[in-house]
Structure 1
C-alpha cells in the first residue's frame, strides 16, 4: 500500500474510532434539520391538492399535477446535484440545494394561478432534490461506525416532525382563512422558504467531508479537518482517544460512475434501483395521498387534514423508535420486517370506514414507515464506496421521485374507479416484491466500516 493510500485509509479509520461526542450530536442536528424541509415539501403536495381542489376548482388531473410537480423537480435535482456532490463536494451542494429551494418556495407562495404554481413547485423541487441524499452521505462519512445507524435515525427524527406540521398547519389554514390579507395555504410555502434560508446560514460553518477530500487527493486538508475534530472530541469527552487500528486501514479511491454496473456493485445497483421504485408506492403513497383519500371516503377537507395530521404523528414517533433498533438489528432484516408492517397497516387503512380505525391504522402505518425509512437511509450509504456514494444513491433516489410523479395519476384514477381499498391492496403487493428484492440481493452491513462493506 502506498503512503498516499495509507494516508487516505487512516483518515477514515481515525473518524471511525472516535467516541460519540457533543460535536457529533451538533452536526447530526444541523444536517438532520434539513430533512425537515424535504419531507415538509413532499407531504405539502397532498395538503395543497386537498385545499386548492376547492379554492381553484381543480379536477382529477390538476390535483395530480399539484402533487407531482415537486416530485418531478426532485427527480431532476437528485440526478444533477447528487452527481455534482461527488465532483465538487458535499458542503457546496448543501448550500446550493437549500438556497434554490428557499428562493423558489418563496416565489411559489405568490403564484397567481395553477400553471405558475406548478412551474415554481418544480423549480423548488429541483433545488431540494438531493437533500436527503446529501444528509445520508454527509453524516455517514463523519459518524463513527458504532453509532452511525442510530445517529442518522435521530437526524431523521428531527426531519419527520415536518410531516405532521405540514398537515396541522394545513388544517388550520384551509379554504377561506387569511392571515394579514394573504390566503392561508400561501403561508405554508413562506414558512418552508424562510426556515430553509435560516438553515442555510447555519450550514455555512460545516466542514467538508474528509473522506471525500482524500478521494480527490486533498489529503492535507482532510487531515487538518480530522485533527480539529479529534481535538474537539477529546476536549468534550475528556477521554484519551483510542489508537487507530492498522487492520482498518483499507484505502478508498476515486471510482468512475460506470463502476456501478461492474462486479459486485452491479448487483447492489440493480437491487437498489428496484427497491427505490417499489418503496415510493408504499411509503410516499400514504403520506402524499392521505388527505385526498380521506376526502374520497366522505370527510370534509378540514376533517381530512386533521385526521391525516393525527396519522402523520406516527412519522416522528416511528423514527424515534428506530433509534434503539437500528444498530442492534441487521439493516436488511429491519427493512424487510418494517415493509411487511407497511403492507399490513396499509391494507387495514384502505378498508377502514370508522374514524377511529382510519386514524389508528394511519398512525401505525406511519410508525412502520419510519422504522423502514431510517433503516434504508442508513443502508444505502453503506453499500456504495465514497467515490460514487452520492451519485449512486442520488441516481437510484431519482427513480423514486420519477415513480412519485406517476403515482398520483395512477393512484387517483384507481381511487376514483375502485376505491381506497384497491389503492392500498396494490401498494401491499409491491411492498412484498420489495422484501424479496432486498432478501435475495441485499448485502449485510450492520456494524462494519464503510470501507470494508
Structure 2
C-alpha cells in the first residue's frame, strides 16, 4: 500500500461497531469533562458562603480550574502529537480524577483553589483531543455527525451537575456536605471511563504520521475485516494523498500556508469564551444579582442547562447538511440575541425560556466548532494546533470572572450580555473572513494547501 493509504482506507469504511464504541467511550469522557467545567459556576455561590469567600477571592475560585486547563492545553496537546492520542487520554483523565477527589475534601478555600487548578491541568486538552481523535478515526462523510453524537452524550453532564447541585446542596449524606459529593461523583465517574478507555485503539492516522506504519497497518486490517464481515466488499479507493511528514514544526502554523487558519482559530477561541462560558459559568451569580435566592437560582440554572444536550442533539441534523463555518456564524448570532433577551428578563418563566434557548443554540455552536477546529490542520500537528488555540479559551475563561463580574456588579445583566453580544458579532466576522470550508471533505484534502503564495493563506475560498 502507498504511504497515503491509511487516510484513504479510513474514509471508505462504513460506520461499524468499532466507530460506535469509540464514539460512546469518548462521549462518556466528555460527560465528566463538561460536568466539571460547569461545576464551578453551579457551585460558586454555595462555595462562597461555605468558605466565606470575599469579592476578591470569588473570581479566583471560579477561574482556578480554567487557569489549570490553560496549562494543560498548552503542554499536553504537544504530548498527544509526540506520544499518541490514547496515551495522553489515559494520563489526563487520571490527573483530573485524583485532584477532583482531593478537592472534595478541601478544608479551606486556598486548598480548593489549588486542587481545582491541578484538576484543570488534566482537563485542559481533553475536549480538543476528543475532537482530534474522532476526527481522525471517522470517515469524512460521517465525521461531523458522530462527533456531535459524542458531545450529545457528553452534554448530559451539564444539566446533571445542575440538578445534582439543586438536590444535594441542602443535604449531608453520610455526614458529608452535599457539594463535596458532587466532586466525589465526578472523580469516581472519571475512574470508570479511564478503564473503558483502555480498549480504545490508537489513531491509525497518528501512527502513520509518527512512522509506526506496521501498527497502523495492523489496526486497519482489523477495521477492514470487521467492516467486510458486516457489509461485504468495501468500496474501491478513490484518491491517494500525501501524508504530512512527522517533523512538522509548531512554527509552521505561523507560516504563510497556515497563518490565516491559526489567527482565525486563536481569535475565535479568545472571543467564544465570553458567549459560551460567560453564561454557563456565571448564570447562578447573574440570577442572584437579579434578586433570586441561591436554591431558586440553582433550580432555574438546572432547567436552563437542559438546553445543552437538546442543542447538541439538534446539531446532529445540521453539522453535515450545512457548511460548518456558516453554522457556527448563525448560532453565534442567535446566542447574541437570546443573551440580550435573558439579560432583560425579570420573571422566572422568561428567565428559564431564554436561558433554555441560549444554551440550546450555544451547543449547536459548540459542537460545530469542536468538529471544525480538528479539521483544519494536518495530522502531525493537529492536537498541538487545536490544544494551543483551545488554551487561549481556557486562560480567557480563567480571567473572565475578573472582567465580567465587575461589569455585572456595576452595570447589571443587560450590559453583561451586551458585552457577550459584541464578542459573538466579532466571531462571525472572524470566521466568515478567514475560516476554510470543511464539511464533507477528507482531512487530507482540507489540509492540502495550494502552492501559489497568493492564495496559500487558509482563507475562506481556498482552492484545492
1:395 aligns with 2:400: no
Q: What's the counterpart of residue 228 of structure 2?
A: 234
Compute the displacement of 1:286 (Å).
0.3
1:167 aligns with 162
Tell me the SS of whatever aligns to 1:264: coil
Deviation of 1:249 after TM superposition, in Å, equals 3.2
For 2:87, the equivalent position in structure 1 comes to 92
1:137 and 1:381 in contact (8 A); partners too: yes
Q: SS of the counterpart of 2:295?
A: helix
User: How far off its partner does 1:239 sit?
Assistant: 2.5
1:84-233, aligned counterparts within 5 Å? Answer: 84-174=79-169, 176-233=170-227
Task: For residues 144-172 of structure 1, give each alpha carbon's deviation from its aligned partner in whole angstroms, at most 9, with x where no partner exists.
Answer: 01100000001000110111111110111
When the two structures are superposed, what TM-score results if normalisation uses the length of structure 1? 0.97
Q: Displacement of 1:55 after TM fit?
A: 2.2
For the pair 1:13 / 2:8, whether they are aligned, the reply is yes
In structure 1, what is the Cα distance between the partners aligned to 2:2 and 2:27?
Answer: 30
Secondary structure class of the residue paired with 1:286: helix
- For the residue of structure 2 that corresponds to 1:452, the secondary structure is helix
Which whole-Å CA distance do the structure 2 matches of 1:51 and 1:7 have between them?
59
Give the distance between the partners of 2:130 and 2:57, measured in 1 at CA. 32
SS at match of 1:382: coil
Question: Structure 2: any 5+ residue segments left out of the alignment?
Answer: 447-464
For residues 299-378 of structure 1, the aligned pairs below 5 Å read: 299-378=292-371
Instruction: Report if the CA contact (8 A) 2:261-2:435 is conserved.
Output: yes
What's the counterpart of residue 295 of structure 1? 288
**Do 1:8 and 1:215's aligned partners in 2 also have CA atoms closer than 8 Å?**
no
More divergent stretch after superposition (67-76 vs 51-60): 51-60
Shift of 1:42: 1.0
Alpha-carbon shift at residue 60 of structure 1 (Å):
2.0
Correspondence for 2:451: none
1:77·1:130 contact (CA, 8 Å) conserved in 2?
Answer: yes
Rounded Cα–Cα distance in structure 2 between residues aligned with 1:24 and 1:37: 21
- Distance change in 2, residues 1:233/1:61 (3 Å): farther
1:23–1:233 Cα contact (<8 Å) kept: no
Partner in structure 2 of residue 448 of structure 1: 441
- State which drifts further: 247-256 or 409-418: 247-256
CA distance in 2, matches of 1:386, 1:83: 12
| Residue aligning to 1:425 | 418
Q: Which residue is 1:252 aligned to?
A: 244
Question: Is 1:434 the equivalent of 2:423?
Answer: no
The Cα offsets for residues 77-107 of structure 1, whole Å up to 9 and x where unpaired, read as 0111111100000000000000010011001
Q: Encode CA deviations 1:341-370: one digit per residue, 9 max, x unaligned.
A: 110000000111011110000000001000
1:267 aligned residue (260, 264, 270): 260
Q: Secondary structure at the match of 2:27?
A: helix
**Which of 76, 91, 99 is the equivalent residue of 2:71?**
76
Partners of 2:232 and 2:288 in 1: CA distance: 57
RMSD between aligned alpha carbons? 1.0
For residue 70 of structure 1, report the CA deviation from its aligned partner.
0.3
> What SS does structure 1 have at the residue aligned with 2:78?
helix
8 Å CA contact 2:53, 2:109 repeated in 1: no
Contact 2:128 2:386 in 1 (8 A): yes
- TM-score for the superposition, normalised by structure 2: 0.94
Q: CA deviation at 1:131?
A: 0.4
Deviations along 1:106-144, one digit per CA (max 9) or x if unpaired, are 011000010000000000001111100110010001000
Alpha-carbon deviation of 1:26? 1.1
Cα displacement (A) at 1:52:
1.4
Residue 276 in 1 paired to residue 245 in 2?
A: no
For 1:238 and 1:153, locate their aligned partners in 2 and report how far apart those are by CA, in whole Å.
24
Partners of 1:345 and 1:248 in 2: CA distance: 46
User: Contact 1:311–1:363 (CA<8 Å) still a contact in 2?
Assistant: yes
Task: Determine the C-alpha separation between the residues in 1 that align with 2:362 and 2:155.
Answer: 11
Q: Deviations over 1:311-350 (max 9, x none)?
A: 0000000000000110010001100000001100000001
2:381 is equivalent to residue 381 of structure 1: no
CA contact (8 A) 2:209 2:243 kept: no
Match of 1:3 in 2: none
Alpha-carbon shift at residue 230 of structure 1 (Å): 1.2
Contact conserved, 2:30 with 2:127, CA < 8 A, in 1? yes
